């Protein structure tokens, strides 16, 4: 298992910078949530008419069920659709310092039609999320080679770190150059700047339970679709 530490991010010249939501998502205003209105209007699962909505909101009360919550959330939001599936606890191989290790994702969104990892989700560990993004970039390029396509030189990988049910969104640029240095245990002179965005909710410690928090977080998830590429 590989688990990048903050000091290793420094060694590989990876910097994480927080930006405001409009700059992060590249929009003038956050879009309205594209979900069933009852999710935005009712706090408790018992108030829901639709079973799927009740199941999603019911998971908000289970602190140990964040991964299950994300999978259900992606279904409700349309992240999971047709050939896009949410996989949990996936081991991604990553060659570090000449030795194969594995980065285990909590959740990853996969385009099964192209065998392409679109989005990674990790509970409360942004350094680990970066490791997963590097491993996913490598895996995606191997999938391209397998079908005769040229590997990508670089790509911005989409990621989310969950603190309870409160997300922080990430754009993680990964390049062949960075992958080379991680593979060989050398340190790149060029900076890799990861940007992140914490949702400006009224009560950040309460996650998606309060309706005002919930509406703002849903708007950010909607804006994030363009970055994920869906």
pLDDT of residue 2: 53
pLDDT of residue 203: 87
pLDDT of residue 54: 94
225: number of Cβ within 10 Å: 17
Q: Would you state the structure tokens that stand for residue 81, as one six-digit string?
A: 């659709």
Spatial neighbors of 183 by CB under 8 A, at least 6 apart, are 95, 96, 97, 98
- Read off the pLDDT of residues 177-193 as tens digits, 9 standing for 90 and up: 999 999 999 999 999 99
pLDDT of residue 165: 94
pLDDT-flagged residues of the chain (< 50): 1
210: number of Cβ within 10 Å: 14
Spatial neighbors of 52 by CB under 8 A, at least 6 apart, are 72, 75, 76
pLDDT of residue 5: 67
* Residue given tokens 């703002």 in the structure block: 216
Spatial neighbors of 149 by CB under 8 A, at least 6 apart, are none
Spatial neighbors of 60 by CB under 8 A, at least 6 apart, are 45, 69, 165, 207, 208, 209
**Torsions phi, psi for 173 (to 5 deg):** -75, 125
CA dist 66 and 106 (Å) reads: 9
- Read off the pLDDT of residues 120-139 as tens digits, 9 standing for 90 and up: 999 989 999 999 999 999 99
């Amino acid at each position: 298992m590989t688990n990048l530490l903050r000091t290793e991010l420094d060694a590989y010249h990876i910097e994480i910078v927080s930006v405001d939501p409009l700059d992060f998502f590249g929009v003038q205003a956050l879009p309205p949530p594209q979900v069933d209105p009852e999710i935005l209007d009712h706090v408790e699962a018992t108030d829901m008419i639709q079973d799927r909505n009740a199941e999603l909101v019911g998971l908000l009360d289970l602190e140990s069920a964040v991964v299950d919550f994300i999978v259900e959330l992606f279904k409700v939001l349309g992240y999971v659709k047709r050939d896009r599936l949410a996989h949990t606890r996936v081991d991604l191989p990553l060659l570090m310092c000449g030795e194969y290790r594995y980065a285990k994702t909590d959740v990853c969104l996969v385009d099964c039609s192209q065998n392409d990892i679109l989005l990674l989700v990790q509970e409360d560990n942004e350094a680990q999320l970066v490791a997963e993004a590097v491993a996913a970039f490598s895996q995606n390029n191997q999938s391209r080679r397998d079908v005769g396509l040229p590997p990508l030189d670089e790509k911005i990988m989409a990621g989310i770190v969950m603190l309870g049910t409160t997300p922080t969104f990430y754009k993680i640029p990964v390049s062949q150059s960075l992958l080379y240095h991680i593979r060989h245990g050398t340190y790149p002179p060029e900076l890799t700047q990861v940007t992140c965005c914490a949702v400006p909710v009224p009560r950040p410690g309460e996650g998606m339970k309060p309706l005002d928090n919930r509406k703002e977080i849903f708007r950010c998830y909607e804006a994030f679709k363009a970055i994920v590429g869906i």
